[in-house]
Structure 1
Amino acid sequence: MSSEKVNEGLGLVRFILVCSSLSPVFLLWAVRGVDAISDSIWIPVCVFLFALPTVLLYLIFRTAKKHQNVKTITVVSAKDQREHLLTYLFAMLIPLFDANVDELRDLTSVLIAFLFITFLFWHMRLHYMNLVFAILGYRIYTVEVKIGTPSGNDDRLATYAVISRRHYLPEKMPLTGYRLGGNVLVDEKDDD
């Protein structure tokens, strides 16, 4: 097995994907409110932070589709991230929502914790579904792909986040998707 590092490309799209999966916290905070900040400022900022990652992902997807920026990979293994959804809800969403954010100092500490969690999710390649995409029928899969030439002895694997409307991704089969960057693909195929 080669020790050479696999180049995953720009991680910005993966970071936006992580932010979009964490964005429901901002919607919950908008409803909850904060004593230290006026609702006329707090609610629009929270709604903006909730919507921004989804809008950015949509614009990147639209650009990739327009320019036919496609990539074909062969799936070695695929895991649906729904199995980790309860962990995500109980480990992240509920504690951040329940945190005391009435004082400016409390709000600052919670926002720093939110940034820390976002970084950890990005670094550990934990991608969960964007709420809007889920409503539209998309799922997110963590896919391992063998890299290198088909005839070579290269056993290195790369990890992709694949956004798809399929209910499962067949292993050992090629998958073509729009390349968003940072090893994030949107499956070209609409359904099973």
Structure 2
Amino acid sequence: MGTEKVTEGLGLVRFILVWSSVSPVFLLWAVRGVDAVRDQVWIPFCVGLFLLPTLIIYAFFGISKRNKNTKTITVIDAKDQREHLLTYLFAMLLPLFDANLDAMRDIVSIFIAFAFITFLFWHMRLHYMNLIFAILGYRIFTVEVRFGGSPEDQDRIATYAVISKRHYIPAQKPLTGYRLGGNVLVDEKDDD
């Protein structure tokens, strides 16, 4: 058997997942408003940036489900990212909300900071929560999978983001999910 490469495919889906986890900031900014931009422009812009990542993920899910594009993985370990939620709230969400947005220069600088934070979360594979998915009962798990077709690959680990309605994902069990790309799966099971 040949050596399989650990590839994640499109990192775009992971990036959109991270964007969706930090998107509540845009909803807060829409309510807060800014002096430099009229509300007729600012509110739809912020609401759009809040909704867009969820709509994109939902579109990827619909395409994957329609094409029956599934993948089965065997879970080594699964972590519910809610344990880091307070860190996420205090380290990222609140400072971005509290940032000064009075002038156009402030708005540009905060969007650059937002892009930088989003990139760091994506690079570090930190996916916390999508507000709309949470309301619908979904959780986001970081799942480790042993990657191995050959003896030299037995110690290699791949990481998946799994969107699921389960309360926990058991270790050492197979999990089948719809592939969204970038090692992001939507669990086929609707409950535990």
Which residue of 2 is the match for residue 120 of structure 1?
A: 120
Which residue of 2 is the match for residue 48 of structure 1?
A: 48
Amino acid at match of 2:18: V
Which residue of 1 is the match for residue 110 of structure 2?
A: 110
1:168 is paired with a residue whose SS is coil
Unaligned runs of 5+ in 2: none
Which residue of 2 is the match for residue 181 of structure 1?
A: 181
Which residue of 2 is the match for residue 58 of structure 1?
A: 58
The whole-number CA distance in structure 1 between the counterparts of 2:148 and 2:137 is 33
- TM score, norm. by length of structure 1: 0.96
Deviation at 1:108, TM superposition (A): 1.1
Pick which of 104-113 and 181-190 moved more: 104-113
Deviation at 1:128, TM superposition (A): 1.1
The whole-number CA distance in structure 1 between the counterparts of 2:102 and 2:152 is 58
Which residue of 2 is the match for residue 133 of structure 1?
A: 133
Which residue of 1 is the match for residue 151 of structure 2?
A: 152
After TM superposition, the runs of 4+ consecutive aligned structure 1 residues lying more than 6 A away are: none
The whole-number CA distance in structure 2 between the counterparts of 1:78 and 1:87 is 19
The whole-number CA distance in structure 2 between the counterparts of 1:136 and 1:40 is 29
Amino acid at match of 1:157: I
- TM score, norm. by length of structure 2: 0.96
Percent sequence identity over aligned pairs: 76
Q: Summarize deviations over 1:120-166 as a string: whole Å, max 9, x none.
A: 000000011110000000000000000122x6342100000000000
Which residue of 2 is the match for residue 31 of structure 1?
A: 31
1:74 is paired with a residue whose SS is strand
How many pairs are equivalent? 188
The whole-number CA distance in structure 1 between the counterparts of 2:5 and 2:64 is 26
- Aligned-CA RMSD value: 1.1
Q: Summarize deviations over 1:20-77 as a string: whole Å, max 9, x none.
A: 0111000000000000000000001001111000000000001000000000000001
Unaligned runs of 5+ in 1: none
